[in-house]
Amino acid sequence: MKKVSIIVPVYNTSLYLRECLNSIKNQTLKDIEVIVVDDGSTDSSPAICDEYAVSDERFKVFHNQNQGVSASRNFGIDKADSEFVIFVDSDDWLENDMCENLYQSACENSVDMVICAHFNESTIGSSSRHMYNTDMMFNGGYFEEIRVHTLGLIGRWLKKPSSLDRHTPIWARLYRLDIIKNSNIRYIDLNKLPSECLQFNFAYTSVAKSGYFLNRPLYHYRRNTVQSVTKPYRVNLLSKWLWWYEYMKENYVATFDAACLQAFYSRMCCSVIPLGGNALKLHTYREIRNECATFLRNTALKESYRYFKYHQCALHWRIFFTAAKYQWIDVFIILTWGMRKILALRKK
């Protein structure tokens, strides 16, 4: 059994793949296995993957028919044989001592999960992102806070809804493989869900007991360089959020305490942010308005807004969520457009 398995799903990322795999090959922790799952790539990615399998016996390459990133990660989990597992996107890369630092932190602190800070990489530069400003241990009630915030924001955390997904990513994390396998934690297909990472992390933090945050940026996350305004309209985005809503109600909500229940409804209410942005990709104002009316009047969203306590949000967010709650459709559209413009400028 190896100390760490690194699972890398690959689909048509030949431009960045060598940088990713080289950063894994050069890890200072040598007792690792690298499970590379080629998801039916049509570029030169398969050949690149095979090169590493030939030159380094720690690399195990599998060529599968295209099934999506969730299926590839699940396949990797089934093949893994180690104490811990790390998931890496094939267009990202690692600091050479990432595995060693995360593994050492897990062993020294006897925790089930380690999270590290990371770098956001884009065409305009690199910037580090830190969840907290110091190393931090999470157990008991503190770890429960991680679970709640993975699900959604409540209380003072609602002052900044744009930080909603800070606990969502599955990269820059080390997980205990036996917890994943014994609890049958799986990635759900993105054809059903708006985010496979959200559901995986919530399932994991529901059974894990402790975690540790390492305040060192060790993972390089390559942000999508395609501007959001040029991304295509997602036809099934609302149905994915509704599927997640029903899935959570069927499998988890009955066991929720008050904090988790608030976080669940908070996450659902905040879905109007991506749903509104998606609607703006339509061609005419009439289409945009009809789209917004459809999701704002949806029964699941109306129910969620009955429980959503957003009074701690900043004023502009309170106005935004009030427009969504009371279905002030034209106001909601104007606010969505304006806030997305502001967020885009901040990212630059």
Q: What is the dihedral of CA 17, 21, 26, 29, to 10 degrees?
A: 140
149 has a pLDDT exceeding 60: yes
Which whole number is the average pLDDT over 128-134?
90
Closest to 218 in 3D by CA, of 28, 35, 34:
28
pLDDT confidence of residue 348: 53
Query: By percentage, how much of the chain surpasses pLDDT 70?
Result: 96
Which whole number is the average pLDDT over 41-47?
97
186 has a pLDDT exceeding 60: yes
- Euclidean distance between CA atoms 254 and 251, whole angstroms: 8
pLDDT confidence of residue 22: 99
pLDDT confidence of residue 163: 74
Closest to 199 in 3D by CA, of 243, 256, 141:
243
* Distances 215 to 13, 114, 197, 224 between C-alpha atoms, Å: 29, 11, 21, 24
Closest to 167 in 3D by CA, of 145, 189, 184:
145
Confidence of residue 344 (pLDDT cuts 50, 70, 90): low
User: pLDDT, tens digit, for every residue of 243-291?
Assistant: 999 999 999 999 999 999 999 999 999 999 999 999 999 999 999 999 9
Considering just the CA atoms, what is the radius of gyration of the chain in Å?
21
Q: What is the dihedral of CA 212, 87, 250, 178, to 10 degrees?
A: -70
Q: Which residues contact 249 (CB under 8 A, 6 or more apart)?
A: none
pLDDT confidence of residue 227: 40
pLDDT confidence of residue 342: 72
For 298-306, the CB contacts below 8 A with 24+ separation are: 298/238, 298/242, 300/241, 300/242, 300/245, 300/246, 300/268, 301/268, 301/269, 301/271, 301/272, 304/245, 304/265, 304/268, 304/269, 305/265, 305/269
Annotation: CATH topology of 2-131+167-222: Spore Coat Polysaccharide Biosynthesis Protein SpsA; Chain A (3.90.550)
User: pLDDT, tens digit, for every residue of 63-73?
Assistant: 999 999 999 99
Q: Which residue has the tokens 């894994």?
A: 24
Which whole number is the average pLDDT over 87-91?
97
Q: Which residue has the tokens 């390559």?
A: 222
| Domain chopping of the chain, boundaries | 2-131+167-222, 228-347
Q: Which residue has the tokens 């030169």?
A: 44
pLDDT confidence of residue 345: 62
- Residues counted in the chain: 348
pLDDT confidence of residue 228: 40
